[in-house]
Amino acid sequence: MVSFAQGIDALNQSMSELRDIDVSFEFFPPKSPKMEETLWKSVERLAPLKPAYMSVTYGANSGERDRTHDVVKRIHQQTGVAAVPHLTCVDASKEELRQIAKDYWDTGIRRIVALRGDLPNGVEKTEMYASDLVALLKDVADFDVSVAAYPEKHPEAPNAQFDLLNLRRKAEAGASEAITQFFFDTSVFLRFRDRAAAAGIDLDIVPGILPVTNYQTLIKFAGFTNVHVPGWLHRQFEGLDEDDHTTRNLLGANIAMEQVKVLAQEGVKHFHFYTLNRSELSYAICHMLGARG
């Protein structure tokens, strides 16, 4: 019988044998000079790891698309890392989207994360879904297109199968990669990857990893994104709201490291990190994965 300790040894040994792991990092546009400083420090710290790309979100309906453009262009020009804008279609006309895509192509951007975006309050239907945006982008130029995927189902989808068929439409429209919503039950991701393969979905399914540093924010976020927070995770952070950052960072890093170890063992070769503009945890996890530039 293999003991638990032997299992952990084998897992750690397998980590030291990992090769060709790709990572990518997601940032959001800063809203204040202090946040701006944090963002650029993080970009500078993570760029030497030579990620596949660094992506920058755009808050749908925020009307602040220019800030995403600015961060993307600066990453592109200053770091030598491929910069990838997120683009939402819920709040722009087709003509605007075509123009934005052309501008990106002309500045050397070759990948876009194509999203619908959340519907504004009171709106139930939209003219365009993400699959329509993928088709529009591919029509403008031969972009590599990433899309979103939801191992625990998108909150609006009536059921998991409906959502999976939507992912297939995004693949058929020309996407090459799907980045998942964050998750904590690793088996949920693995089952989702199997179901996508069984449905003939020809996409690289990249797990979105959220290293948790702020538990209360996580709970809020998990609530409206339909992400299950397991009891064991609640218990790990219980009572630490007032504790210093170190304890919480250590726990967050440990949880994410265990998650990526299992995923790497299951053949995952590309990890996407929701950095929340911080570099410490993502850097440590990448180092463990052997992604060192």
When the beta carbons of 150 and 215 are compared against ligand FAD, the nearer one is 150
C-alpha distance from residue 110 to each of 84, 90, 170, 212, 235 (Å): 8, 22, 18, 30, 43
38 near 9, Cβ under 8 Å? no
Residues 6+ apart with CB under 8 A from 46: 25, 54, 275, 279, 282, 283, 286
Q: Taking CB under 6 A as the criterion, which residues in 160-179 touch ligand FAD?
A: 162-163, 166, 179
When the beta carbons of 47 and 133 are compared against ligand FAD, the nearer one is 133
When the beta carbons of 173 and 264 are compared against ligand FAD, the nearer one is 173
> For ligand FAD, which stretch binds (CB under 6 A), given 14-22, 74-82, 157-165, 282-290?
157-165
Q: Is 252 in the site for ligand FAD (CB under 6 A)?
A: no
Per the residue annotation, which of 26, 36, 44, 156 is the catalytic one? 26
Question: Least distance from C-beta 171 to ligand FAD, angstroms?
Answer: 11
Q: Is 39 in the site for ligand FAD (CB under 6 A)?
A: no
When the beta carbons of 139 and 156 are compared against ligand FAD, the nearer one is 156
Q: Is 208 in the site for ligand FAD (CB under 6 A)?
A: yes
Query: What letter does residue 122 receive in the DSSP assignment?
Result: T
Beta strands in the chain (DSSP E): 22-27, 53-56, 83-88, 111-115, 144-149, 177-182, 204-209, 270-274
What residues form DSSP beta bridges with 147?
114, 178
Q: Taking CB under 6 A as the criterion, which residues in 70-129 touch ligand FAD?
A: 86, 88, 113, 115-118, 129
| 26 given a catalytic annotation | yes
C-alpha distance from residue 16 to each of 155, 186, 286 (Å): 38, 21, 12
When the beta carbons of 130 and 251 are compared against ligand FAD, the nearer one is 130
C-alpha distance from residue 64 to each of 30, 88, 130, 282 (Å): 11, 12, 20, 27
Question: Least distance from C-beta 242 to ligand FAD, angstroms?
Answer: 31
CA nearest 272: which of 15, 54, 109? Answer: 54
> For ligand FAD, which stretch binds (CB under 6 A), given 35-43, 100-108, 156-164, 196-204?
156-164
Which residue in 141, 157, 160, 219 binds ligand FAD (CB under 6 A)? 157
CA distance 61 to 71: 18
Q: Taking CB under 6 A as the criterion, which residues in 271-290 touch ligand FAD?
A: none
Question: Least distance from C-beta 149 to ligand FAD, angstroms?
Answer: 7
CA nearest 269: which of 105, 23, 17? Answer: 23
Q: Taking CB under 6 A as the criterion, which residues in 41-70 touch ligand FAD?
A: 57-60
Q: Is 188 in the site for ligand FAD (CB under 6 A)?
A: no
When the beta carbons of 103 and 156 are compared against ligand FAD, the nearer one is 156
Element (H, E) at 225: helix 215-225
How deeply is 40 buried, as exposed, middle or buried, from its count of CB atoms within 10 A (0-12, 13-18, 19+)?
middle
Q: Is 207 in the site for ligand FAD (CB under 6 A)?
A: no
Beta strands in 150-231 (DSSP E): 177-182, 204-209
Question: Least distance from C-beta 169 to ligand FAD, angstroms?
Answer: 7
Residues labelled catalytic:
26
Q: Which residues bind ligand FAD (CB under 6 A)?
A: 57-60, 86, 88, 113, 115-118, 129-130, 148, 154, 156-157, 162-163, 166, 179, 181, 208
